[in-house]
């Protein structure tokens, strides 16, 4: 882990903890806060939060300025995992190496914990000190996380289960399920620094490359990776008869695309005058990750 990544992570953990403090003893609604904390504060790679801080710094802002946005995008990511794992969706019982939220708190509380995290994401994004920036950042998040973005990708995923989606449909699905939220993170980082349209557009291209590479790598790891390293079950797509890039293209072609998309991401960084060394290395490390 680079020193800069460590510095970013050292800011993100405490900021999440501050945004969702432990409930007071005897709080009658304390259990939903506990369930939200269980999934939000259990670690994870914090890829999206790191991207928000790094793009803020790349655009000349202090990384800490992007913390409200970084926390918000992690909350959206976490809620989507909680709802995804529920029995009516993917019915997964293992997440980040621990029992899924609904296995610990029950389905009803997991549903509420997801709803609570999604709502808290906007409250947190809107705590950004400049109101115009707060509105711009939160609106980008809403657009990219909603039914034309992340939720739309999950809808395509549901419809395709057991079916035979063409490569085009698979790409539309991953555009929503994976790229959209990574794009929100990168763009919100730029917005935190007060960057303009040119930077937002380039950040979107970086997110596109990194996001697609990330998803392709996920599919490769679902076949080749170990459950121990991943903290979740592997072979799940095959078990559910779900098509993914590996089943459509083969492992070698999928891994070749990981590198091609990563190259696109690196190209986008050239449009920023600042030092993009960290984001370059970050994209390369995601392309080669084992978990």
Binding positions for its own copies, rule: CB under 8 A: 28-29, 31-33, 36, 79-80, 83, 86, 88-89, 106-109, 111-112, 114-116, 118-120, 122-123, 126-127, 131-132, 134-136, 138-139, 141-143, 145-148, 151-156, 158-159, 169, 172-173, 176
> In this complex, which beta carbon is closest to its own copies, that of residue 75 or of residue 213?
75
- Closest approach, Cβ 218 to its own copies, in A, equals 20
> In this complex, which beta carbon is closest to its own copies, that of residue 1 or of residue 24?
24
- Closest approach, Cβ 285 to its own copies, in A, equals 30
- Closest approach, Cβ 183 to its own copies, in A, equals 15
105 phi and psi, to 5 degrees? -110, -5
Name the packing angle between helices 131-145 and 180-192 (round to 10°): 170
- Closest approach, Cβ 91 to its own copies, in A, equals 10
SS3 call for 94: strand
118 Cβ neighbours under 8 A, 6+ residues apart: 75, 76, 79, 145
Q: How many CB atoms lie within 10 A of CB 178?
A: 21
- Start-to-end CA distance of the chain, whole Å, equals 14
The Cα–Cα gap between 290 and 27 comes to 41
> In this complex, which beta carbon is closest to its own copies, that of residue 124 or of residue 262?
124
Q: By CB neighbour count within 10 A (0-12 exposed, 13-18 middle, 19+ buried), where does 193 fall? A: buried
93 phi and psi, to 5 degrees? -110, 0
- Closest approach, Cβ 119 to its own copies, in A, equals 4
- Closest approach, Cβ 102 to its own copies, in A, equals 8
> In this complex, which beta carbon is closest to its own copies, that of residue 66 or of residue 118?
118
The Cα–Cα gap between 263 and 209 comes to 7
> In this complex, which beta carbon is closest to its own copies, that of residue 135 or of residue 251?
135
> In this complex, which beta carbon is closest to its own copies, that of residue 54 or of residue 173?
173
The Cα–Cα gap between 24 and 224 comes to 44
The Cα–Cα gap between 232 and 241 comes to 18
- Closest approach, Cβ 120 to its own copies, in A, equals 5
Task: Give how far Cα 6 sits from Cα of 1, 17, 60, 147, 216, Å.
Answer: 7, 17, 20, 34, 26
């Amino acid at each position: 882990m680079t020193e800069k990544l460590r510095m970013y992570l050292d800011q993100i953990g405490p900021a999440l903890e501050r945004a969702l403090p432990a409930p007071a003893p005897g709080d009658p609604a304390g259990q939903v806060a506990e369930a939200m904390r269980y999934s939000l504060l259990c670690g994870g790679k914090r890829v999206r939060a790191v991207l928000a801080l790094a793009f803020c710094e790349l655009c000349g802002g202090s990384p800490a300025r992007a913390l409200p946005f970084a926390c918000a995008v992690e909350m959206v990511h976490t809620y989507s995992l909680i709802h995804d794992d529920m029995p009516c969706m993917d019915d997964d019982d293992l997440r980040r190496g621990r029992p899924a939220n609904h296995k610990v708190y029950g389905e009803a509380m997991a549903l509420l914990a997801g709803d609570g995290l999604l709502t808290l994401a906007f409250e947190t994004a809107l705590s950004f000190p400049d109101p115009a920036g707060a509105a711009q950042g939160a609106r980008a998040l809403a657009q990219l996380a909603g039914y034309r973005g992340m939720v739309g990708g999950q809808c395509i995923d549901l419809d395709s289960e057991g079916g035979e989606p063409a490569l085009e449909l698979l790409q539309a699905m991953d555009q929503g399920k994976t790229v959209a939220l990574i794009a929100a993170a990168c763009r919100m980082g730029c917005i935190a620094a007060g960057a303009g349209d040119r930077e937002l557009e380039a950040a979107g291209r970086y997110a596109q490359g990194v996001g697609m590479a990330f998803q392709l790598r996920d599919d490769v790891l679902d076949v080749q990776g170990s459950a121990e390293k991943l903290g979740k079950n592997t072979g799940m797509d095959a078990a559910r008869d779900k098509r993914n890039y590996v089943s459509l293209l083969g492992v070698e072609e999928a891994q070749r695309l990981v590198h091609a998309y990563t190259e696109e991401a690196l190209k986008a960084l050239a449009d920023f005058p600042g030092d993009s060394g960290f984001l370059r290395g970050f994209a390369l490390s995601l392309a080669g990750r084992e978990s």
